C-alpha cells in the first residue's frame, strides 16, 4: 500500500497521495487533516481540493492503488498450475508484502478507522474480497486434485490464512527480536491445508 504506487492520472494527484500516506503513517488517519496533507505535499489547500474533495477521497485513491498492488497476488493464485507450489509462492510473497513496516502500519490504521466508519471499510472491502476469493479458489482446486485436504468452507479457510499472515506481520513489528521466520509460517500453513 505505502511503498510502490502506480502513477495516478495527474502527477500532483500522486504527490498528494504520497503526502497523505506519510501523514497517515506518522499521525494516523483520524489525526490527519486535509491541511496537514496539503502542507506535507507542499501545495495550497485549494490545490488539494482541485484533485480531491477531501481526506476520504484521498483514502479512496489509496484503496484503488492498493487494488493495483494486490492484483499480482491474485494472479499468482489463479494462474499457478501446481496448487502446493502456488500456495507456497503466495505465502512467501504476500508475507513479505504484509511485513513491510509501512504496509503493516497503514493496514492497521485503516482497519482501526474502518471499525469506526463503515464507509471507509467499504473502500477497502473489494480488495480483501478479491484476495480471499482467489485464495479460496486455489484451496478448492487443490482439495479437488488431492493436493490439499477437503475444506467445508474454502472462503473461511482463506480468510483465516490471510489473518495468520497479516497478524504475524504486525506482531513482527512489535517484537524486538522477531521469532521464527518464514519457514515456521509455511509449516503452520502446510498443517492447516493438509499438505
* 92-114 confidence digits (pLDDT tens): 999 999 999 899 888 888 888 88
* 111-162 confidence digits (pLDDT tens): 888 888 888 888 899 999 999 999 999 999 999 999 999 999 999 999 999 9
Residues 20 and 37: beta-carbon distance below 8 Å: yes
* 29-65 confidence digits (pLDDT tens): 989 999 999 999 999 999 999 999 999 999 999 999 9
Q: Which domains does the chain have, with CATH numbers?
A: 61-193 (1.10.357.10)
Distances (CA, A) of 28 to 22, 106, 111, 112, 188: 9, 8, 11, 10, 32
**31-52 per-residue burial string, b: 16 or more CB within 10 A, e: under 16:** ebebebbbebbebeeeebeebb
Residues 148 and 194: beta-carbon distance below 8 Å: yes
The mean pLDDT of 184-194, rounded to a whole number, is 89
Amino acid at each position: 500500500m505505502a511503498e510502490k504506487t502506480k502513477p495516478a492520472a495527474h502527477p500532483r494527484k500522486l504527490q498528494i497521495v504520497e503526502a497523505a500516506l506519510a501523514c497517515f503513517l506518522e499521525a494516523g488517519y483520524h489525526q490527519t487533516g486535509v491541511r496537514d496533507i496539503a502542507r506535507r505535499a507542499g501545495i495550497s489547500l485549494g490545490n488539494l481540493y482541485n484533485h480531491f474533495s477531501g481526506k476520504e477521497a484521498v483514502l479512496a485513491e489509496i484503496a484503488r492503488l492498493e487494488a493495483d498492488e494486490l492484483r499480482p497476488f491474485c494472479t499468482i493464485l489463479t494462474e499457478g498450475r501446481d496448487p502446493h507450489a502456488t500456495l507456497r509462492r503466495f505465502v512467501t510473497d504476500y508475507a513479505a508484502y504484509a511485513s513491510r513496516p509501512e504496509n503493516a502500519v497503514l493496514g492497521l490504521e485503516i482497519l482501526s478507522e474502518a471499525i469506526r466508519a463503515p464507509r471507509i471499510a467499504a473502500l477497502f472491502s473489494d480488495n480483501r474480497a478479491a484476495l480471499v476469493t482467489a485464495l479460496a479458489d486455489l484451496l478448492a482446486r487443490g482439495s479437488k486434485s488431492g493436493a490439499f485436504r477437503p475444506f467445508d468452507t474454502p472462503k473461511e479457510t482463506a480468510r483465516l490464512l490471510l489473518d495468520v499472515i497479516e497478524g504475524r506481520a504486525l506482531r513482527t513489528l512489535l517484537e524486538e527480536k522477531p521469532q521464527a521466520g518464514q519457514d515456521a509460517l509455511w509449516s503452520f500453513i502446510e498443517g492447516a491445508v493438509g499438505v
